[in-house]
Amino acid sequence: MNSLSLERELFGRRFQNPLLLAAGTAGFGRELNGVLRLDRLGGIITKAVSLQPRHGNAPPRVAEFTGGMLNSIGLANPGVESVRREALPWLSTHLTRAHILVNVVGFTVEEYAEVVRRLDGAPRITGFELNLSCPNTSAGGIEFGADSGCVQRIVAACRQRTKLPIVAKLSPLLPDIGGMAVVARDAGADAVSAVNTIPGILYGNTGEARLGHGSGGVSATQPASSLEDRTGEEPEM
């Protein structure tokens, strides 16, 4: 590899460059086909895949402000069986050099593991990214990623279902994100993804939240202190 090469090695695999599209930014790849050459990427991380289909949050789901956007998609996806039957075969035929990682969500520990089990062995999947910011329905809605015991159990359960690389996607709100990364590593994760979006809310001129769900995740291109909403308001985070 010469000094100008962008090639990287990760998980013992060769990536032609370090550019991977983050989960949710490109759907399942088909959405950006014709907009960019997907196979020139290092890889694509699919949008979230859950055990059952999800319709997602009420619209509007996206609100822009100067320097960024707020989104609250609600993990909308067609469910694992549809993804295995339709989305992944399309990706595997259109990405011959770029890697495919599947973002996995669940609302119980068992759901994470079951999604991984059903997709393990699908053609051309390089690994799984576990979205640990999902609400734990068995524990009153607290995020899985906020509890070290939950993180340990999810990663360990998924590790039992696959030999493929596992990436733990962590929340930016953790008081000790480094410590949680160690928990994920010790449970069997090969890497961590840092981080999910920062929670925030935008209000319109009428005083109502601009997203149907109310709050959402802030994606910004400028420091939060310099952001000003187009209505003259800053996102509350």
Decide if 134 is catalytic: yes
Strand stretches in 83-196, DSSP E: 99-104, 125-131, 166-170, 191-194
Instruction: Give the C-alpha separation, 237 to 235, whole Å.
Output: 6
Residue indicated by tokens 């400028």: 222
Instruction: Give the C-alpha separation, 175 to 147, whole Å.
Output: 11
Please check whether residue 17 is in contact with residue 36, taking contact to mean a CB–CB distance below 8 angstroms. no
Burial environment of residue 213 by CB neighbours within 10 A (0 to 12, 13 to 18, 19 or more): middle
In 10 A of CB 206, how many CB atoms?
Answer: 8
Instruction: Give the C-alpha separation, 193 to 11, whole Å.
Output: 14
Q: Which of 20, 104, 134, 227 is catalytic?
A: 134
Instruction: Give the C-alpha separation, 169 to 180, whole Å.
Output: 10
Question: Which residues belong to the active site?
Answer: 134
